[in-house]
Amino acid sequence: MIFEGRTISPGKAKGEVIKIDEPLSFLGGVNGSTGDINVKGGNVAGKILVFPKGKGSTVGSFVMYDLKVHGKQPAAVINESAEVIVATGAVISSIPMVDQIPSIRLFEDGDIVTVDADNGTIDIEGISFKEIVSSVVSTGGRCILLKRPESNRSYPGHWSLVAGKIEEGESPEEAARREIMEETSIEVGEPIGNMDPLYVREGKTLFKVYPFHFDSKGKEPILNEENEAFTWASIDDISSMKTVTDTDKVMRYFLR
């Protein structure tokens, strides 16, 4: 699956991903002589190093160059947002680097990725990509959560918002309204809110999720065969529930 970003330092590389979820300071965060990652464990040498952005002292640029001198540099660097320290370190060390990817959530440790920093693209091998909608259907500060059966292929036994795949030719909003009707028999009007898309990985599947908020108009759901139960839940209720990734984030955004 190919994604476009922005070239920071040219070059091409292929390798295994090692991902750090927080901003990284090379000074103190990575051993310039060995490549060991102090903040996580593992080693950057020959890896596709993925993290959101850099931070810390400008000496971090020279730590990256020290990695190069010792033959322990990453094969490439991928950021959501490049800052000067890491960008400079990548350039002076001739490490291919790309930023402005949609999210580091595209990646998991162990993914095999080809970075073409000459053209600003990344190719993640062996994953499938699906665009889906996920809707808060609410009344009085609570929204419908649906219980997925244990036999479900995706997030079995989890509670989710009203969600489903965008069909060919549909807009995300059209898909959201259709899924709500199919899964709850509730006909909704125009959305009362939406969020920027979220990216979620479940194993080898990458989901691009379009969140919406609709008013249930006080109607009770009537479920189809896709889900085995429903409940009306508040933000406080879900702390003890097994929910699909980002359910709490989306609920907090719309029901805050």
Cβ contact 14:112 at 8 Å: yes
Residues annotated as catalytic are 57
d(CA 189, CA 214): 7
- Is the pLDDT assigned to residue 54 strictly greater than 90? yes
- Is the pLDDT assigned to residue 14 strictly greater than 90? yes
Q: Tens of pLDDT along 94-124?
A: 999 999 999 999 999 999 999 999 999 999 9
Predicted confidence band at 66 (pLDDT cuts at 50, 70, 90)? very high
Domain 2-124 has CATH 3.40.50.150: no
Q: Residue 227 has what pLDDT?
A: 96
d(CA 250, CA 138): 12
Query: Range(s) for CATH 3.90.79.10 in the chain?
Result: 128-255
- Is the pLDDT assigned to residue 60 strictly greater than 90? yes
Q: What is the pTM of this model?
A: 0.92
Q: Residue 256 has what pLDDT?
A: 87
Q: What is the DSSP letter of 236?
A: T
Choosing among 3.90.79.10, 3.20.20.80, 3.30.530.20, 3.40.640.10, the CATH entry for 128-255 is 3.90.79.10
